[in-house]
Amino acid sequence: GRGVKVAIIDSGCDNTHPALTHVQTGRDYTRLDERHMPDLESWTEDGMSHGTHCAGIICGSGRDGHIRGFVPEAEVHVLKLFPGGAFNNLAAALHYCIDNQIDVVNCSLGGEQTSETVE
């Protein structure tokens, strides 16, 4: 994974987990400021644990017997979208990926509604 940029669009990532302390970049699209900019700190709060789980599979460091992911040396960007995100938040997260030249985007999403913008 060295030299590869991966984005994880999910429920955040608890980077206090020993296998994920190297994950240091993220945005929380469920908490926007008055200028509609995402919060730069709360992405580490993962009340669902799903994003943290995905991060472990993708980029777990493998140190001290903890999970080793597929690309532990990748540059990881955590983009928190749920719970509470909407299609406009997803579109903003995808624009972030384009603007930051992300190579791979992992999206754990589902729903009954559709969005032409997202498609």
- Alpha-carbon separation of residue 103 from 8, 93, 119 (angstroms): 11, 14, 18
* Amino acid 113: pLDDT: 85
- Alpha-carbon separation of residue 83 from 43, 48, 62, 89 (angstroms): 12, 8, 28, 11
* Amino acid 40: pLDDT: 98
Dist. CA 11–CA 24, nearest whole Å: 15
Q: For 31-51, how does the pLDDT look when each residue is reduced to its tens digit (9 = 90+)?
A: 999 999 999 999 999 999 999
Q: For 63-117, how does the pLDDT look when each residue is reduced to its tens digit (9 = 90+)?
A: 999 999 999 999 999 999 999 999 999 999 999 999 999 999 999 887 788 888 8
pTM (whole model) above 0.75: yes
- Alpha-carbon separation of residue 87 from 4, 91, 93, 96 (angstroms): 26, 6, 10, 14
